[in-house]
Amino acid sequence: MLIGLAAMVIDATQRLRDLGISSGEVHDVASGFDLGRLADVLTSALSGVLGIASSLVFIIMLVLFMAVDGGTFPRQLTDAARVRPGMVSALVDFGRDTRRYLVVSTVFGIIVAILDTIALDVMDIPAPLLWGLLAFLTNYIPNIGFVIGLIPPALLALLEGGPGLMLAVIVVYSVLNLIIQSVIQPRVVGDAVGLSTTLTFLSLVFWSWVIGPLGAILAVPVSLLVRAVLVDADPCNEWLRPLVANRPVE
């Protein structure tokens, strides 16, 4: 890839010379272009992607361990409901809404991954299946996940085919992912779990600030848990339901 980028620099240098720019000025521009620095940027971007992937692996392992304990959990909830029926009912609703959120996100993630893989394959971007998988994983990050999934294939398109191909990848991702992930999906998620689009975005910002990249992935489930404990479980806070959920006071 760096060889292809070096060829692009040489080609751009020759074009500057053809436009009448002096050799000294062209040399100054070319010498100021640091391939090592660009490699560092690429490495940082990939490190961020790997960090998100490791967070997803942690979540998957946690879910597996919770599944192991799931056999006895209903009995424990039944025992707890004798003392705090309101809290148990809120936690049951939280579990149901979280499952709905994961199902909706998974379905839309599969759709986005298939469309992105096909588009990248048509444009001859290397490893389209890998970037489609990345698009699927980043779909669990509300609103801005597609931007994270766009960076690696866009940079690869720049190195392989130049600015034109990179622009084509950005346009395709923006049309497909922005419409699906940032317009359609938040509405469906809001209807499924009772969170407005604005509150979903604010949850993403807040939990990312509190617990880092993992907060971006867990923003919606954690917000649902907070709502269950602080609002749904306490009858005195029922008046807050219309403010934090797309559901009326019962």
Q: What are the tens digits of pLDDT across the range 121-179?
A: 898 888 889 888 888 888 887 767 778 888 888 888 888 888 888 898 889 888 887 77
- Give the count of domains, the chain: 2
Residue 127 sits at φ, ψ, to 5 deg, of: 55, 55
For 188-214, write each residue's pLDDT tens digit: 776 667 777 777 778 878 888 887 777
Could you tell me if 161 and 184 lie in one domain? Answer: yes
Q: Evaluate whether 106 touches 56 at the Cβ level (below 8 Å).
A: no
Q: How far apart are CA 60 and CA 52, in angstroms?
A: 12
Could you tell me if 3 and 114 lie in one domain? Answer: no
User: Given this model, what pLDDT does residue 70 score?
Assistant: 64
Q: Evaluate whether 231 touches 244 at the Cβ level (below 8 Å).
A: yes
Cα angle 213, 216, 222 (rounded to 5 degrees) comes to: 120
Could you tell me if 27 and 42 lie in one domain? Answer: no
Could you tell me if 148 and 236 lie in one domain? Answer: yes
Q: Which residues contact 162 (CB under 8 A, 6 or more apart)?
A: 8
Q: Evaluate whether 191 touches 247 at the Cβ level (below 8 Å).
A: no
104 inside domain? yes
Q: How far apart are CA 71 and CA 185, in angstroms?
A: 32
Q: How far apart are CA 185 and CA 142, in angstroms?
A: 9
Domain of 201 in residue numbering reads as: 34-244
Q: Tell me the mean pLDDT in the region 35-57.
A: 65
pLDDT higher than threshold 60 for residue 68 = yes
Could you tell me if 94 and 70 lie in one domain? Answer: yes
Could you tell me if 236 and 171 lie in one domain? Answer: yes
Could you tell me if 9 and 60 lie in one domain? Answer: no
For 69-119, write each residue's pLDDT tens digit: 666 766 776 777 777 777 777 788 888 888 888 888 888 889 988 998 998
User: Given this model, what pLDDT does residue 24 score?
Assistant: 55
pLDDT higher than threshold 70 for residue 23 = no
More confident residue, 24 or 115: 115
